Homo-oligomer: A and B are copies of this chain.
Amino acid sequence: MRGLATKRLDTLDEAIIAAGLKDGATISFHHHLRNGDRVLNAVLDRLARAGLRGLHLSATSLFPVHAPLVEHIRNGVVDRISTSYISGPVGEAISQGLLPTPVRLTTHGGRARAIESDEAPIDVAFVAACAADEMGNLSGRTGRAPCGTLGYPMVDVEHAAKVVAVTDTLVPYPLCPIDIAQDKVDYVVKIDAIGDPGGIVSGATRPAADPQSLAIAANTAAVISASGLLVDGFAFQTGAGGISLATAEAVGREMAARGVTGSFACGGITGFHVDMLEAGLFRSLLDVQCFDLKAVASFAHNPNHMAMSAAMYAGPHVGGAVVDRLSAVVLGAAEVDLDFNVNVTTRSGGGIIGGSGGHADAAQGASLTLVTTRLTAAGWAKIVPKVTTLTTPGSSVDVVVTEAGVAVNPRRVDLIERFKSTDLRILSIEDIAQDARRLASKPTPDRPVGPIVAVSQYRDGSIIDEIRATAPP
């Protein structure tokens, strides 16, 4: 009797050996488990103990939970990082110059492009799988801490030299339904827990309710309403923040009133988007990552709630990604400047607090790109002469919406003309910047001048800005 094939290994250590990991290798991780992720820390701990050095960490995003990475950088286990987003202690440490080489801050679509074009090859991709069978079929729908779609590792598993799936829930073969198929996976390792369910998804995503946010949301919805785009087939992306959701709520009311059926909502998906799908406001959801449990449940059961890979979502190299079909996208900002450039990467005055994620991708793709921002935050002006860090070029930002009014990019003469006959409060970006400066209690800080600690890489691969250390290393 021939033995049954299996890809299961007993420990991460065995997988590290089987995958042939060597000093200097590139290892990749995804962030569907967000601030509840335990897989990146567990793997790096074993790599450090195995004595590996000089690794290149390619992670779709890094969160506060990944604080132990600081020690691995200090010890030389990791000396290069590529990622689309960093928040928490890792960002702080890098901002102070801990990493010997500048972090490459990509966009979600740009990361997919770099991987698929072999510009950024991956030696071993580690996939946190909510459930798996021993042949490597993976699911994000079931298990102890379901996270929904697996849009980011879908790219990595197709291109990595080796793929290690890490799960806490092994199911009998074959797992069903399959989100990532066994022919893309080399090894399967079971650990005690891949994540902390409390950190993986926010309990509930809610629209903002404070007057300032509601004013911004109302202005944003009014711009969309007046744009001519709010017709059957409307395609929409918003973030999961309070202003975005309040905007979506207002847009949804307008769609219902006009009897408009949208084609899709996309991006990270929340229960709020699920409600819009179920209310018939959109025909489908295209979901690269679920942001809450309602979205996870919807993805598991509703065939109109579809997964998409990061390449399909935002790749600038696929001849037309989902973002290229967006009618409108509503994006946030840490800073906006007089050229409509947006910074979502650093604080004013420096210090990494985020990164593009899909910001620059959706901005370039959408027919109408709206950036919402309060005039000030914590005493700082958010509309500034020049952004501290360029994340998304102003050439792909059409409208900036604040509680004080709306500024239209002068390049969009069509919109300026169209909005003349509305009661939108249209201001120049300079006027809005002046309002912000007037309201601010602190002066806008200068750009830091320390050594370069990171570069801002646009979706096409070009370096569009550098991030400098906030304090000497």
- Could you list which residues of chain A lie within 8 angstroms of chain B, going by C-beta atoms? 1-2, 4-7, 135-136, 158, 172-174, 176-178, 181-183, 186, 228, 233, 263-264, 283-284, 286, 303-304, 306, 308-309, 311-312, 315, 318-322, 324-325, 365, 367, 414
Contacts and interface: CB of A to CB of B under 8 A. Distances in A.
A135 B320 contact: yes
A177 B303 contact: yes
By secondary structure, the A interface counts as: loop
B176 A306 contact: yes
17 contacts: A1-B367, A1-B414, A4-B325, A4-B367, A5-B321, A6-B320, A7-B320, A172-B263, A172-B283, A173-B233, A173-B325, A174-B306, A177-B306, A181-B308, A181-B309, A182-B321, A183-B312
A136 B309 CA distance: 14
A263 B174 contact: yes
Contacts of A7: 319-320
Nearest to A301: B303
B186 A319 contact: yes
B414 A174 contact: no
A283 B177 CA distance: 11
Contacts of A283: 172, 174, 176
B304 A176 contact: yes
A6 B321 CA distance: 10
Contacts of A183: 309, 311-312, 315, 318, 321
A336 to B, nearest CB: 20
A321 B228 CA distance: 51
Contacts of A306: 174, 176-178
B136 A320 contact: yes
A158 B312 CA distance: 13
A174 B318 contact: no
Most-contacted residue by chain B among A178, A309, A414 (CB, 10 A): A178
A284 B174 contact: yes
Given A183-B309, A183-B311, A312-B183, A367 B2 contact: yes
Contact of A325 (B5, B264, B286, B308): B5
The 3 closest A-B pairs by CB, nearest first: A5-B324, A5-B320, A183-B318
A284 to B, nearest CB: 5
A75 B402 CA distance: 68
Nearest to A365: B5
Contacts of A135: 320, 325
Contacts of A181: 308-309, 312
Contacts of A264: 173-174
A349 B446 CA distance: 86
Nearest to A136: B320
Most-contacted residue by chain B among A176, A183, A286 (CB, 10 A): A183
Contacts of A176: 283-284, 303-304, 306
A308 B180 CA distance: 11
Given A158-B158, A182-B312, 15 more contacts: A1-B228, A4-B325, A5-B365, A135-B320, A172-B263, A173-B325, A174-B263, A174-B286, A174-B325, A176-B306, A177-B304, A177-B306, A182-B318, A182-B321, A183-B315
Contacts of A322: 174, 182
A320 B308 CA distance: 26
Most-contacted residue by chain B among A5, A172, A186, A284 (CB, 10 A): A5
Contacts of A303: 176-177
A465 B249 CA distance: 67
A324 B312 CA distance: 31
Contacts of A263: 172-174
Contacts of A158: 158
Contacts of A177: 303-304, 306
Contacts of A284: 174, 176
A8 to B, nearest CB: 10
Nearest to A232: B172
Contacts of A178: 306
A345 B5 CA distance: 28
Most-contacted residue by chain B among A233, A303, A367 (CB, 10 A): A303
A18 to B, nearest CB: 10
Contacts of A324: 4-5
Contacts of A4: 324-325, 367
A38 B320 CA distance: 28
A397 to B, nearest CB: 13
